[in-house]
C-alpha cells in the first residue's frame, strides 16, 4: 500500500483542529505522509509549531505572500519545485476561501488530486459588488474547466462533512422512500444554523478567521453546508419522478453596522465594564463608517423551486453568527475556531406534502468541547442530535412517530465530538480513493455536485447587492434536468 504524499495549503485553526490530526492518524497507519504545509509570510513559527505538534516535524514549511484571484509567479514556482522534489500525490486546500481557486487550479494543472474545504470559492466584497457576487459562479466554472483539462484525470472532493453523517443519510433515505411511494416530491424545507460567534466591534475589523472585513461573511463561512443540505433534500425528492427546473432566491442580511444598532458602545461598556473602552476606543460613528465594507453576520434566504413556471416547493435558510453564545469575556480566546464561546444550534425541517415530516435537531449549551460523555446526547450536550419522523402511515406504513437518537444510529466514541468523527470519514474516503479502494463514482462529494449549492451562494449575494442598489432583489437560476 502506497504512502501518499500530501501538501496542506493553509495551516489555520480548522486545519490544526481537524486536518492535521486526521492526517497524523492516517500517517501512523502508513497510509500517507505530509510533505509540507503552506502558510502566509510572517506565520512561519506558528506553522512549524502546528506541524511539529501534530507529529510532522519533518514536514517543510512553505511561506507565500498573501494573494487572491491569481497565484503570483514566485509562489507558483516555489510550489512547483516542491511538488517535483517530493513527488506529491494530493493537495488539501484549507486556505482563506478567497484563494481557493488559484490553489485548485495549480494542483489540477499538475494532475494532483484535491480535497477542498468549503465554501468551494468566495469573492472579496461579494456582499456589496454585483460583479463580485456573480464571480462566485464564474470561479466555480473555472474549477470545473481546470479539472476537465487536467492531466492524469485528478479528482476534486469537497469537504462537506454532513454528506458523511449517518443521521442525514437516514433522513434522506426516509425522504426518498416517501417520494417514491407517493409520487410527491419534497415540498418544503427549513434549515437553521446558529453559530454562537459573538464578535466584538474592533474584532470585526481585525480578525482573519471567519472574517467580515473582506466583504463576505456567514454565507461564505459555514453557509455552504446548508445550501448543500437543501440541494440534497431536493435531490432526494427526485425519487417521486418530479424535479424543479429553476429556482428563485431572495436574501436579506444583518451586517456589522446593524449589530451596533443592537448593542452599541454604551451597551457593551455597561456589560463588560470600563475596560471595554480601552479595548475599543473607536466611537460608534467611526465603527459605522468602517463597517460599510464588511460582510454579513447573519443571512436569511428564501428559495422558490419551480416546475414549468409554477412554484412547487419552498425552502428557507437562517444562517446566524450572532446567536446564543457562552462568551462572557472581553479579550478573545486564543482558539477562535472552537474555544471562544462558540455554541452551535442547528435544525432542519423537511416535508413531503401530506405524507412525511422529518425534523433534525442539534442544540449545544456548552462551549467546552474537549471531552464528552453519555450525558452529551441530551439537548444542550456536545453531541446532541435527534431525528423525529412523522409519517402518514395509511400511505407509508411504518411508525406514526419515530424518534431516532444519535446512539441509535451507530457506534461512536462518546468521549469526543461526533461531528469531528464524521469529518474523519472525509479524509478516510479520500485516501481510500487514492488507494483504489473507492471508485470515483462512489465518492460522496465530487466537485461537480456542488454546482447548485454554489449557485445558491452566488445568488444570495447577487440578491443583496441588487437590494442595496434599489433593484429587484429576487434572482433566478436554471437547474439541470
- pTM for the complete prediction? 0.96
Residue 209's pLDDT band (cuts 50, 70, 90): confident
- Which whole number is the average pLDDT over 309-337? 94
Which pLDDT belongs to residue 333? Answer: 87
Are residue 203 and residue 315 in the same domain, yes or no? yes
Are residue 405 and residue 348 in the same domain, yes or no? yes
Q: Is residue 260 part of a domain?
A: no
Q: Is residue 121 part of a domain?
A: yes
Q: Is residue 420 part of a domain?
A: no
Q: Is residue 108 part of a domain?
A: yes
Are residue 142 and residue 200 in the same domain, yes or no? no
Answer yes or no: is pLDDT of 146 > 80.
Answer: yes
Q: Say which CATH number the domain at 25 has.
A: 3.40.50.720
- Which whole number is the average pLDDT over 124-149? 98
- Which whole number is the average pLDDT over 449-474? 98
Q: Is residue 23 part of a domain?
A: yes
Look at the chain and report how many structural domains it folds into.
Answer: 2
Residue 69's pLDDT band (cuts 50, 70, 90): confident
Which pLDDT belongs to residue 410? Answer: 80
Are residue 141 and residue 184 in the same domain, yes or no? no
Q: Say which CATH number the domain at 195 has.
A: 3.30.360.10
The boundaries of the domain holding residue 153 are 4-158
The domain boundary residue, chosen from 158, 187, 204: 158
Are residue 347 and residue 234 in the same domain, yes or no? yes
Answer yes or no: is pLDDT of 334 > 70.
Answer: yes
Q: Is residue 427 part of a domain?
A: no
- Which whole number is the average pLDDT over 282-295? 96
Answer yes or no: is pLDDT of 337 > 80.
Answer: no
Answer yes or no: is pLDDT of 306 > 70.
Answer: yes
Residue 288 CA, chain-centre distance (Å), reads 28
Q: What percent of the chain has pLDDT over 70?
A: 100
Which pLDDT belongs to residue 1? Answer: 66
The domain boundary residue, chosen from 108, 130, 158: 158
Are residue 179 and residue 35 in the same domain, yes or no? no
Which pLDDT belongs to residue 404? Answer: 97
Distance CA 263, CA 465 (A): 25
Higher pLDDT residue, 223 or 411? 223
Least confident of 1-15, 213-227, 347-361, 458-472: 1-15
- Which whole number is the average pLDDT over 191-215? 94
Answer yes or no: is pLDDT of 122 > 90.
Answer: yes
The domain boundary residue, chosen from 158, 188, 223: 158
Amino acid at each position: 500500500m502506497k504512502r501518499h504524499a500530501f501538501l496542506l495549503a493553509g495551516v489555520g485553526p480548522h486545519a490544526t483542529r481537524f486536518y492535521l490530526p486526521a492526517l497524523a492518524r492516517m500517517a501512523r497507519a502508513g497510509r500517507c505522509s505530509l510533505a509540507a504545509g503552506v502558510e502566509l509570510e510572517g506565520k512561519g513559527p506558528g506553522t512549524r509549531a502546528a506541524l511539529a505538534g501534530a507529529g510532522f516535524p519533518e514536514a517543510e514549511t512553505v511561506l507565500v505572500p498573501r494573494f487572491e484571484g491569481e497565484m503570483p509567479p514566485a509562489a507558483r514556482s516555489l510550489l512547483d519545485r516542491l511538488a517535483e522534489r517530493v513527488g506529491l500525490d494530493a493537495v488539501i486546500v484549507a486556505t482563506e476561501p478567497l484563494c481557493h481557486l488559484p490553489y485548485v487550479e495549480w494542483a489540477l494543472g499538475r494532475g494532483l488530486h484535491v480535497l477542498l474545504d468549503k465554501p468551494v470559492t468566495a469573492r472579496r466584497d461579494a456582499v456589496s459588488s454585483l460583479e463580485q457576487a456573480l464571480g462566485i459562479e464564474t470561479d466555480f466554472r473555472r474549477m470545473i474547466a481546470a479539472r476537465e483539462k487536467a492531466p492524469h484525470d485528478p479528482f476534486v472532493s469537497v469537504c462537506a462533512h454532513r454528506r458523511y453523517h449517518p443521521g442525514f443519510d437516514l433522513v434522506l433515505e426516509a425522504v426518498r422512500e416517501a417520494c417514491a411511494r407517493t409520487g410527491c416530491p419534497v415540498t418544503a424545507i427549513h434549515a437553521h444554523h446558529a453559530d454562537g460567534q459573538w464578535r466584538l466591534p474592533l474584532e470585526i475589523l481585525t480578525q482573519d478567521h471567519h472574517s467580515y472585513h473582506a466583504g463576505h461573511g456567514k454565507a461564505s463561512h459555514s453557509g455552504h453546508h446548508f445550501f448543500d443540505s437543501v440541494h440534497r433534500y431536493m435531490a432526494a425528492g427526485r425519487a417521486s419522478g418530479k424535479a424543479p427546473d429553476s429556482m428563485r432566491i431572495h436574501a436579506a442580511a444583518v451586517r456589522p453596522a446593524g449589530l451596533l444598532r443592537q448593542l452599541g458602545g454604551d451597551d457593551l461598556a455597561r456589560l463588560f465594564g470600563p475596560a471595554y473602552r480601552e479595548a475599543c476606543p473607536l466611537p460608534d460613528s467611526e465603527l459605522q463608517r468602517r463597517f460599510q465594507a464588511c460582510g454579513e453576520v447573519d443571512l436569511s434566504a428564501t428559495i422558490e423551486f419551480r416546475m414549468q413556471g409554477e412554484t412547487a416547493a419552498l425552502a428557507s435558510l437562517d444562517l446566524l453568527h450572532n446567536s446564543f453564545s457562552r462568551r462572557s469575556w472581553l479579550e478573545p480566546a486564543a482558539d477562535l475556531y472552537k474555544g471562544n464561546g462558540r455554541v452551535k444550534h442547528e435544525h432542519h425541517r423537511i416535508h413531503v406534502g401530506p405524507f412525511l415530516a422529518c425534523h433534525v435537531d442539534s442544540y449545544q449549551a456548552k462551549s467546552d468541547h474537549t471531552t464528552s460523555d453519555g450525558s452529551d446526547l441530551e439537548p444542550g450536550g456536545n453531541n446532541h442530535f435527534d431525528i423525529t419522523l412523522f409519517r402518514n402511515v395509511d400511505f407509508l406504513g411504518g411508525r406514526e412517530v419515530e424518534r431516532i437518537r444519535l446512539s441509535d444510529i451507530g457506534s461512536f466514541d462518546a468521549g469526543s465530538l461526533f461531528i469531528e468523527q464524521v469529518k474523519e470519514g472525509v479524509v478516510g474516503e479520500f485516501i481510500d480513493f487514492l488507494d483504489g479502494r473507492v471508485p470515483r463514482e462512489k465518492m460522496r462529494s465530487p466537485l461537480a455536485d456542488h454546482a447548485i449549492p454554489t449557485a445558491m451562494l452566488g445568488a444570495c449575494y447577487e440578491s443583496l447587492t441588487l437590494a442595496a442598489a434599489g433593484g429587484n432583489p429576487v434572482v433566478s437560476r436554471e437547474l439541470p434536468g
